[in-house]
Structure 1
Amino acid sequence: MENDKRKQGVRGEESKEEKWVDGGSVDYKGQVPLHSSTGVWKASLFIITLEFSERLSFNGIGSNLILYLTQVIHLDLRTAAKNVNYWSGTTTMMPLIGAFIADAYTGRFLTVMFSSLIYLLGLSLLTMSQLIPSLKPCNVGTCHRPRKLHEVVFFLALYCISVGTGGIKPCLESFGADQFDDTHMEERKKKMSFFNLWMFTLSCGILLGTTVIVYVEDYVSWGIASLILAIAMTVTIITFYIGKPFYRYRIPEGSPITPMLQVIIAATRKRHLACPSDHTLLHEVPKSEKSQGRLLSHTSRLRFLDKAAIMEEESMELKDNPWRLSTVTKVEETKLFLNVFPIWFCSLTFGVFATQATTFFIKQAASMNLKIIKNFKIPPASISTVDAIAIIISLAIYDRVLVPILRKATTNERGISILQRIGIGMLLSVIAMSNAALVEKKRLGLAGIGTLSVLWLVPQFIILGIGEAFTLVGLQEYFYDQVPDSMRSLGIALYLGVLGIGSFLGSLLITIVDHVTDKNGRSWIGKDLNSSCLDKFYWLLAALNALNFFIYVFIARRYTYKTVQRRVIEIDGYKGDGVELTA
């Protein structure tokens, strides 16, 4: 009986602890937040709303951009594709700057608010470039060369959107994931669903952007479409701000790069020392002495860095000097950051593949029979809605059907590990690109004889969508979860960098392929689609993705996941539930 009371007392202590959010978060008043009144879905839904608007705008513009550049500004196919890739690449590289500023100085909420206003400025300029007579491409009708002023304002608007995205994309998603407490079992499970819901919402934005917005652009007016996007962004910025009392915030701790440099320099200074066989002899600071964050468990990877935490007489005298003595947690955070780069490099090839959906896949559609039924033609960019629909359906099935089954089968709370999920998507990308090559070969065979139906592109978009549901969501979760807690915006920026650098690599690959194949008299990527050999380019991408997949598997099988030290409550020999996080 007495023991039962003590157990109840322990559970009472745990319940008391669970009342407050652990991990260094604060509410909008700067106090420790309550589980009951902050975070989780009540907060993240305000955040997801802004993401929907941002993706609606980006895809409404980006999916049709190559057609605007070729049909309105009259660029040739090669130059237009490069411009789309440069803009897309810049848009997905800017988050590295925004994430660093947010993690180090301004915090995620303020960065998102400021960046949203810059994004809105870009949409406003885009609207003006289409509706103000002196800024329109031409006075009336169409022209072979638009006004120079229109081009300047148009590209200025596009790159304002890029700068705005630089703060929104990495900070908004990590801010949304911050609303779930990693040390709370139920909230941790909900966070796994959050990443799926995030991609689901993102895909809904893509779906409407590539249908409704693209239809307005093609058959009504680019100006009206831009005005709709500007109004939608204004409404969701206001909605995001209204959710301020429900959010959990993380206080920026300064540059996240500095502690890693301290570890590397401290380890280099002690390079002559041997690491102790017992890792408990390494220096660590109790959590009660830390400002925020969690303690990480020691791992055996990159043992050289452990030397930064070796306690010797000289370093004990200078224990307050982080350039001479680091903690195990700081050492492990440095290991974590270095450990993600092999996976990041392996993801770049998938980024090159993903950019084809907004360039050559759309141009393929434009050269095909766009009639779905007798009197209805779809805009070429709208074919990419198949991709979005495939993502939405596959995410719903994965989250609600497959994950519960896989949890029971594997005893992994995620169902399958993050890296397994990413690998499945990479394998599907090889299949999708092979399918695209076969379809393009068939389309070229009919050139001058007949026109292939655009529905032939549906399979490659379906496979692409399912692959993205696995790989892109997996990469988002991986780069949020497997970097140090203080660098989570930067982690999401690394994920976005996969797509950004993938766009730049795609442009570089186009240039190299064009230069090499043009020597044979017929470039694989000519001035128009029918004079090109795009099927051979697709086979090249399929081969590169296949080679990359095998390298990825080799690296992933040797990967060590992030592990947080277990928290245990003990009274008279009875131990309460602890928390240990692995992927």
Structure 2
Amino acid sequence: MGMEEGSFPIDEAAQFSSTPCFDRKQLGGWITFPFITATMAGLTLAAAGWNSNLIVYLIGEFNVKSIDAAQIWNVVNGCTTMFPVLGAIVADSFLGNFSVIFISSLFSLLGIILLLLCSTIGSLRPPPCDQNGSTSCITPSKPQLSILYLAITLATIGVGGTRFTLASMGADQFDLPQHQWSFFNWYLFTLYTATAISATVIVYVEDSVSWGWGFGICAAANVVGLVAFVAGSRFYRHVKPKGSPFTSLARVVVAAVRKRNVVVSNKSEDYYHRADGGVAAIHTGTFKFLNRAALITEGDTKPDGSIAKLWKLCTFQEVDDLKTLIRISPLWSTGILLSTPLAVQMSLATLQAITMDRHLGSHFKIPAGSMLVFIFVSSSLNLVILDRFLYPTWQKITGRFPPPLQRIGIGHALCALSMAVSAVVESNRLKKAHNIGTNSIVPMSVLWLVPQLALAGMGEAFHFPGNIALYYQEFPAALKSTATAMEAMTIGIAFYLSTAVVGVVQRETRWLPNNINEGRMDNVYWVCFGLGGANFVYYLVCAWLYKYQGLAKVADESNG
């Protein structure tokens, strides 16, 4: 996908294979791609294997109520997508990407092993609800819940420390932006494909064979991913951490406040620039009050030209880095309300599937936790179509590659449309449920959920890689790992918000009872459609006002 110029060059591979001791500058390139991809595939198979079916596992094995299980799933996914930000900060500031990925993979393996023990040792979970024909359910004990939550926490930390840190490490292996963009497409393709396989094959094993076998496969996949990652270590280009970039950003704010009474200058020589002699352009039109942080005043520098007081003087590059983050923050915020309805949809779709006819033929029954696979399949297929056909056609017609902001905007529109389709389908499901009795399985095929999930996946194929490419190119160089994790952060916040939204709806309305056949989940979807529509308008305003920084140069080079 998009790799015509740099797809595994033969001469590059030969160079590495024939040189036992090669120069550090030769490290990286497409020779690292198989190792990083195999790592991504193994770890994603492991993570999706336990996460995709978590709602069903909590309801069936730990006797958790349906809406509560959906809420726990939302919180877990929020943590899964928030932890990458912490992992990226640690990678950028202290340990580097390789160490963070290796340590996180071990955490993931430990968590999955604990889940395996919970599923195979009877004393670690409560008896099933239907034991001896009883209609009451025994809630899990505190020790049982403690072990369960410890397992989920360790596995979640593992996912958070690897998923987006692998994206940054993979992009670090390439010098050309076009190759980085190709890597991001293949990275997401691997992510969605592995998730789809896991959400079907492993989830089927968990539902039809045993939870022990399912979690055992997850543990084996985790080990394969970890081994593949370590096996490629001699080829990786390792970017050394340069200390916390957030410290320098905080210094800019403090220095600007301390010099708030100093008059801003328009002369470049009045500002402190990089120690290597590079001079940044002085942009006084936007956020010029921050320029004071780099303005040289008496006592700010030593006789040798170095900074005398770190919290009173910064380089102008550090000032410009903070400005970049401020400029892009409105666009970043639109991703939160984009992902919130999607998070609600993902958790509620599983509950819908449980109440619907899931038979395909007379012998096969679709696991409820596998329904989300249609999002990942749709995303994978559309990524291929977009990268191999639509985007090249666009480039031939317009003379340029579709800018990220346009791709993201299309994703916003498709995701909002997905909510409207969800509402219509749920309204029809409720009508059938009321006709036959709310305690029965609704005589409506679970495949009616496919269109809304496919639309959501199509939207992700547009906005997800578009956002990652935008952040990676627009963020300051010191924040590259954090840049790719910023997309994860929006999703994490969205899962937390979706938990809050569902909680408010439960408390203030009767739309989401424990038996969803007695509620009005269609109204929840219409609310999500309204949020998505309003957010789309907000995005259009932000995109119209935004001016590309890093991508402007890249676009010129690519078109040239």
Which residue of 80, 87, 105 maps to 1:116?
105
Alignment CA distance shift 1:165-1:208 (3 Å): same
Q: Distance in 2 between matches of 1:163 and 1:395?
A: 28
Give the AA of the match of 2:431: G
Give the AA of the match of 1:210: A
Within 5 A, what are the aligned runs for 1:415-430?
415-430=401-416
Which residue is equivalent to 1:16?
none
Which residue is equivalent to 2:170?
176
SS in 1 for 2:548: coil
Q: Distance in 2 between matches of 1:224 and 1:104?
A: 39
Q: Distance in 2 between matches of 1:139 and 1:371?
A: 24
SS in 2 for 1:451: strand
Alignment CA distance shift 1:434-1:579 (3 Å): closer
Is residue 308 from structure 1 mapped to residue 299 from structure 2 by the alignment?
Answer: no
Alignment CA distance shift 1:161-1:289 (3 Å): farther
Structure 1 unaligned blocks of 5 or more: 1-18, 20-27, 182-186, 518-522, 568-577
1:135, CA displacement in angstroms? 3.0
Q: Percent identity?
A: 32
The 8 Å contact of residues 479 and 491 in structure 1, kept in 2 or not, is answered as yes
Q: Distance in 1 between matches of 2:218 and 2:210?
A: 13
1:280, CA displacement in angstroms? 6.8
Q: Distance in 1 between matches of 2:456 and 2:553?
A: 40
Is residue 93 from structure 1 mapped to residue 82 from structure 2 by the alignment?
Answer: yes
The 8 Å contact of residues 319 and 325 in structure 1, kept in 2 or not, is answered as no
Q: Distance in 1 between matches of 2:312 and 2:22?
A: 33
The 8 Å contact of residues 61 and 128 in structure 2, kept in 1 or not, is answered as no
1:72, CA displacement in angstroms? 2.2
1:273, CA displacement in angstroms? 3.3
Which 10-residue stretch deviates more, 480-489 or 459-468? 480-489
Alignment CA distance shift 1:516-1:482 (3 Å): same
Is residue 488 from structure 1 mapped to residue 480 from structure 2 by the alignment?
Answer: yes
Structure 2 unaligned blocks of 5 or more: 1-11, 13-19, 437-441
Which residue is equivalent to 2:152?
158
SS in 2 for 1:94: helix
Alignment CA distance shift 1:425-1:298 (3 Å): farther
Which residue is equivalent to 2:358?
370
Give the AA of the match of 2:363: N
SS in 2 for 1:39: coil
SS in 2 for 1:245: coil
TM-score, normalised via structure 2 length: 0.87
Which residue is equivalent to 2:326?
338
Which residue is equivalent to 2:540?
553
The 8 Å contact of residues 108 and 171 in structure 1, kept in 2 or not, is answered as yes
Give per-residue Cα distances to partners, 1:302-328, cap 9 Å, x unaligned: 221122223445445575234333222
Give the AA of the match of 1:202: L
Q: Distance in 1 between matches of 2:467 and 2:490?
A: 9
Give the AA of the match of 1:346: T
The 8 Å contact of residues 195 and 373 in structure 2, kept in 1 or not, is answered as yes
1:373, CA displacement in angstroms? 2.9
Within 5 A, what are the aligned runs for 1:191-340?
191-279=180-268, 282-285=271-274, 288=276, 298-299=282-283, 300-316=285-301, 319-321=306-308, 322-340=310-328
1:224, CA displacement in angstroms? 0.4
The 8 Å contact of residues 563 and 581 in structure 1, kept in 2 or not, is answered as no
Q: Distance in 2 between matches of 1:488 and 1:315?
A: 30
Q: Distance in 1 between matches of 2:104 and 2:147?
A: 19
The 8 Å contact of residues 106 and 158 in structure 2, kept in 1 or not, is answered as yes
Give the AA of the match of 1:228: I
The 8 Å contact of residues 63 and 128 in structure 2, kept in 1 or not, is answered as no
Alignment CA distance shift 1:50-1:452 (3 Å): same
Alignment CA distance shift 1:364-1:147 (3 Å): closer
Which residue is equivalent to 1:383?
371
Give per-residue Cα distances to partners, 1:145-194, cap 9 Å, x unaligned: 2653443322211111112123212321111111111xxxxx32111111
Which residue is equivalent to 1:511?
503
Which residue is equivalent to 1:131?
120
TM-score, normalised via structure 1 length: 0.84
Q: Distance in 2 between matches of 1:566 and 1:452?
A: 53
The 8 Å contact of residues 472 and 480 in structure 2, kept in 1 or not, is answered as yes
Alignment CA distance shift 1:206-1:30 (3 Å): same
Within 5 A, what are the aligned runs for 1:398-409?
398-409=386-397
The 8 Å contact of residues 432 and 464 in structure 1, kept in 2 or not, is answered as yes
Which residue of 48, 63, 70 maps to 2:37?
48
Is residue 535 from structure 1 mapped to residue 535 from structure 2 by the alignment?
Answer: no
The 8 Å contact of residues 43 and 225 in structure 2, kept in 1 or not, is answered as no
Alignment CA distance shift 1:378-1:566 (3 Å): closer
Q: Distance in 2 between matches of 1:142 and 1:298?
A: 73
Q: CA RMSD in A?
A: 2.8
